[in-house]
Structure 1
Amino acid sequence: MARLATNKLLQKAKKSKSDEFYTQLCDIESELQYYKPHFEGKVVYCNCDDPKVSNFFKYFVNNFSELKLKKILTSCYREKNDSLFSSEELENGFFSEYTAAMNKGDGDFHPNIIHFEGDGDFRSQESIELLKKSDIVVTNPPFSLFREYVQQLVKYDKKFLIIGNVNAITYKEIFKLIKENKAWLGINLGRGVSGFIVPEHYELYGSEARIDDSGNRIVSPNNCLWLTNLDTYIRHKDIVLTRKYYGNESDYPKYDNYDAINVNKTKDIPLDYSGAMGVPITFLHKFNPDQFEIIKFRKGNDEKDLSINGKCPYFRILIKNKRIQS
């Protein structure tokens, strides 16, 4: 029931233009610790962040000297409300810059706000001009616009570390990047992302929803990931394989529509099989491109879902082992 409830919340967020899920500082710290060498001398852009409340901005300001950053850019979207019946004051989107000259080491990181002419949408030309000036993009983009968001990063050839829903792996645009070794999963996945801060108008769905000591309303979907093109040593660690195919063939049935065996769990990948294998999408969290080759996603030779005796297991990724053992 908890999973159904949290999925309901994410669907609600997907329908919202603002996708108001704010990342906790603890989750940012947990992931960013693995990428520190990438940031020296770089301009970081958090282009879905209000610097007054963003924990991404807070993290980079607090670690400005340690990371040896050049500059932090943040920008924030503000939805226009021009209804005749609205009493809200119109406000444009805005951005801020933070440089070494502003870093006094006293914990004071109140930003200087500069307003855009427009709403500050990451797709706006004003935001794109800031993107062009940046080196690495780090943020929690709107889940409902995730495909479009990543496509923009690829178009402008940017390094990135962003949060998305695990289902993003199944998007053909995202999987293509992973297959071509242009993007990969970060370190933390699922419960490794402990939860998001949500505003007052969101219901606290799920058994792990809570209010923390600071009064923040936290929802833990447990189905999110980090997507990046920043390399780490962990990505190149081999998956330890202990199972064998030969002598255990009945444990690895073949698909009806592709010459490959089915493997239900990553830990059950056989070390002695040289042919194609279908593995769960969670395999990507441990995927080492030096150890395995990704062939394709989900479909057999007939371009229908992979099936065994007419039944389709949940989405499979077809892979080959580059390091066969006897």
Structure 2
Amino acid sequence: MVRQATNKLLQNAKKSKKDEFYTQLCDIERELQYYPNSFVNKVVYCNCDDPDVSNFFRFFRDNFHKLGLSKLIASCFREIDNNSVQIQNDKRAFYCVYNGTDEPMFVAPFRGNGDFRSEECMELLQQSDIVVTNPPFSLFREFVSQIVKHNKQFLVIGNVNAITYKEIFDLIQNNKAWLGVNLGRGISGFIVPEDYKQYGSEVHVNEAGQTIIATNGCLWLTNLELNKRHEDINLTKLYLGNESKYPMYDNCDGININKTQDIPKDYCGLMGVPITFLHKYNPEQFEIVRFRKGDDGRDLRVNGKCPYFRILIRNRRLQHIKRVV
């Protein structure tokens, strides 16, 4: 129940556009270990990050030479008070550039508010190779669409429900983006401002006095090469002889499967699997056919009921076999 409450908080934050969830260093380190060669001679841009507090900036600065970076850029957003006659420099949005040397880091204020969609931030984006950050959840699909439009690589954190956005699902289906390694409880929690209310036992204060809210509803989304996504799912179940465990859809010639681990190894037709399947999806093993809809264009149904978001897949390794009904 408490875990559901924290997930609801993320959804409420998305709706209210209150996006102040900051990533912990331990979660960044846990994920970034799987991309050891992705950053060599690359310019990394953290475009939703105040370098004074961002753990993304801290990670790339401290591991600059180990990762072989060429340059590190970070920029932050600051709300502009239109009633203010003049904005003091310490309250303005700014960006910084770190080159891995002992020389002072270059820091400059923005003319505007530092929004990732602004012309100034877009200029910095053009200079970069890879974007790594925790973007505003309320703007996630717009954020990713912008990066893809400009042909940039990325590794970003989002709500797991982002999979259900058409823009994001299309990227995954077309093998232009995929899930990272850590998902759900693999992301231990986010740092939130002190004025956030306490939300039960899933909230605690760490040794640094920061309030941490744990969730079970987030993922990493990326287009950086990842060896784990080419590992087959180990299929151990059989459809033949267990047909009653795999009901047919009312409006699609396919079977419903409630857990990825229950995918049968001998079924060559369409199978509807939960969205968490994408965490283990190997594009060489399975084909993603479509999302959620049956042959009639309506949500997939079993005995008149719609199971929660299903992805229709087909086993590529069995496509040459003609299914016997």
Please give the TM-score of this superposition, normalised by the length of structure 2. Answer: 0.94
Equivalent in the alignment of 1:4: 4
Partner Cα separation in structure 2 for residue 196 and residue 237 of structure 1: 30
- Residue equivalent to 1:174: 168
Query: Percentage identity across aligned positions?
Result: 64
Aligned to 1:207, the other structure's residue is in SS state helix
Is 1:302 aligned to residue 296 of structure 2? yes
Is the Cα contact below 8 Å between 2:6 and 2:199 reproduced in 1?
Answer: yes
Shift of 1:51: 0.3
String of CA shifts for 1:112-139, please: whole Å, max 9, x gaps.
4210111000000000000000000000
Deviation at 1:10, TM superposition (A): 1.3
* Whole-angstrom CA distance in 1 between matches of 2:125 and 2:94: 14
Give, as a single letter, the amino acid of the residue that structure 2 aligns with 1:207.
S
1:260: which partner in 2?
A: 254
CA drift at 1:16: 4.6
Structure 2 equivalent of residue 69 of structure 1: 69
SS of the counterpart of 1:53?
coil
Of the three residues 205, 211, 217, the one matched with 1:217 is 211
**Residue 296 of structure 1 contacts residue 319 of structure 1 at CA under 8 Å; is this kept in 2?**
yes
- CA offset at residue 207 of structure 1? 2.3
Looking at structure 2, the residues matched to 160 and 87 of structure 1 have their Cα atoms a distance apart, in angstroms, of 36
In structure 2, runs of 5+ residues without a counterpart are: none
Match of 1:197 among 178, 191, 195: 191
Secondary structure of 2:317's aligned partner: coil
Report the CA distance between 1:88 and its aligned residue: 8.6
Question: Could you say which residue in structure 2 is the equivalent of 1:107?
Answer: none
Indicate conservation of the 8 Å contact 2:6/2:202, yes or no: no
Deviation of 1:268 after TM superposition, in Å, equals 0.5
Q: Write the distance in 1 (CA, Å) between the matches of 2:17 and 2:264.
A: 45
Q: Which residue of 2 aligns with 1:147?
A: 141
Secondary structure of 2:30's counterpart equals: helix
2: distance between equivalents of 1:16 and 1:124? Answer: 21
Which amino acid in structure 2 is aligned with residue 235 of structure 1? Answer: R
Partner of 2:128: 134
Cα deviation per residue 1:101-122 (whole Å; 9 max; x = unaligned)?
Answer: 248xxxxxx8542101110000
Question: Where does residue 47 of structure 1 map in the other structure?
Answer: 47
Equivalent residues in 2 for 1:1-326, closer than 5 Å: 1-17=1-17, 19-83=19-83, 91-102=91-102, 111-324=105-318
Q: CA RMSD in A?
A: 1.9
Tell me the distance in 2 between the aligned counterparts of 1:206 and 1:283: 30
1:69 to 1:87, Cα distance in 2 relative to 1, 3 A: closer
Q: Deviations over 1:120-173 (max 9, x none)?
A: 000000000000000000000000000100110011000000000000000011
The answer to whether the Cα contact below 8 Å between 1:244 and 1:272 also exists between their aligned partners in 2 is yes
What is the distance in 1 between the residues matched to 2:60 and 2:226? 19
Contact map agreement 2:61 2:100 (CA 8 A) in 1:
no
1:236 and 1:288 in contact (8 A); partners too: yes
2:298 and 2:42 mapped to 1: Cα distance?
A: 45
Q: 1:7: how far off?
A: 2.7
Separation (CA, whole Å) in 2 of partners of 1:249 and 1:127: 55
TM-superposed CA distance for 1:18, in Å, is: 5.2
Q: Distance in 2 between matches of 1:83 and 1:206?
A: 39
Mapped partners of 2:157, 2:222: distance in 1: 9
- State the 1:287 CA deviation: 0.2
Within 2, Cα distance between the matches of 1:65 and 1:119? 31
What is the number of residues matched between the two proteins? 319
Asked if the contact 1:52/1:111 (under 8 Å) is kept, the reply is: no
Q: Deviations over 1:263-320 (max 9, x none)?
A: 1110000000010100000000000001000000000011111001111111100000
C-alpha displacement of 1:100: 2.7
Q: Distance in 2 between matches of 1:151 and 1:144?
A: 13
Letter of the 1:293 partner, please give it. Answer: E
Which segments of structure 1 move beyond 3 Å, counting only runs of 4 or more? 15-18, 86-91
Structure 1 spans left out of the alignment, 5+ residues:
104-109
Cα distance change, pair 6–237 in 1 and its aligned pair in 2 (3 A): same
Equivalent AA in structure 1 for residue 165 of structure 2 = Y
What is the SS of the residue equivalent to 1:35?
Answer: coil
